[in-house]
Amino acid sequence: MFHFAAVSRVAWGQEDPFKCWQTNQQGTLNVLEACRKAQTRPVMFYASSREVYGEPIYLPVNENHPKKPVSIYGMTKLCAERTCLSYSATSLLDRSVNHLTFRFSNVYGSTRDLPSRVIPTFMMQAFRGEDITLYDGEQVLDFTFIDDTISGIVKAYTSCLDGHRELLGEDFHFVTGRGVSVASLAKMIVNLVGSHSKIITSDAKDFEVRKFIGDPRKSYKLLGYEPRVRLEDGLRILSERLAPSIQAR
């Protein structure tokens, strides 16, 4: 059972906290209860987020880093993770739910991505020659290409199919281990598409984490996960994927 449904943007959680809690927390509880009652006893793969850590106290962030989210979204994801644990075998339930947790970090590269997320926004603005607004721009984040993220998901899935029960209950990063500032990201995109867009700055948003670089070593050791797509290459691939739809407009 792949449970990836959510109110999936930090800003949306701040705008409508009730819906964010209802969807991310109650929704996860609904899926867990369905898994608990299912005769097939599925393994549940839960999609969480780097947002559970809040502002890191060390870098790169590994899976054991203290968790202190600063946004509503991050809080809902952390609570949902703990709800998964409450349904696991450690809670001594008559029927428990086996699960794995994935923590994603700024996944990009799909043409079906939300247009309001940072890379699609910058890419479309650059293609159109519009100004690109940075909310401070000094944030340093770990951007992960979607193909790499999917490879990690598939490796976890196949490992469970192959009977690696030692993975049950574990949490995994699918990250690159490389941090890039949002300002540098904007410049990369402008240069990539040959845009005349101007980059302007505005005040940072208080609920946004300013720095995250993930540690992929646990995923490599236990799953064989390796990020293969550099940010520069991933942006180029995305621009090529988006170009036909932009040119058709």
DSSP secondary structure letters along 91-105:
GT-SS---EEEEEE-
Q: How far apart are CA 143 and CA 162, in angstroms?
A: 30
Query: In the chain, what percentage of residues exceed pLDDT 70?
Result: 98
pLDDT class of 243 with cuts at 50, 70, 90: confident
Looking at the structure of the chain, the number of domains it has is 1
Instruction: Give residue 146's pLDDT.
Output: 97
3-state secondary structure of 131: coil
pLDDT at 69 exceeding the cut of 90: yes
Please report, for the domain that includes residue 130, its CATH number: 3.40.50.720
| Residue at token pair 């600063």 | 70
pLDDT class of 248 with cuts at 50, 70, 90: low
pLDDT at 208 exceeding the cut of 90: no
**Nearest CA-CA partner of 8 in 109, 62, 66, 77:** 77
pLDDT at 174 exceeding the cut of 60: yes
Q: How far apart are CA 93 and CA 35, in angstroms?
A: 13
Q: How far apart are CA 118 and CA 186, in angstroms?
A: 9
pLDDT at 247 exceeding the cut of 60: no
User: Under 8 Å CB-to-CB from 206, ≥6 apart: which residues?
Assistant: none
pLDDT class of 150 with cuts at 50, 70, 90: very high
* Mean confidence (pLDDT) of the chain: 94
Q: How far apart are CA 181 and CA 191, in angstroms?
A: 15
pTM as predicted? 0.92
pLDDT class of 204 with cuts at 50, 70, 90: confident
pLDDT at 249 exceeding the cut of 70: no
Can you tell me the mean pLDDT for 225-241?
A: 96
pLDDT at 74 exceeding the cut of 80: yes
pLDDT at 198 exceeding the cut of 90: yes
Q: How far is CA 193 from the centre of its chain?
A: 25
Q: How far is CA 188 from the centre of its chain?
A: 21
Q: How far apart are CA 98 and CA 82, in angstroms?
A: 13
**Nearest CA-CA partner of 80 in 120, 109, 43, 51:** 51
Most distant CA pair in the chain: distance in Å?
Answer: 63
Query: Which residue segment(s) compose the domain that 93 sits in?
Result: 2-247
User: Under 8 Å CB-to-CB from 142, ≥6 apart: which residues?
Assistant: 50, 105, 106, 175, 176, 177, 178, 179, 180, 212, 213, 214
pLDDT class of 91 with cuts at 50, 70, 90: confident
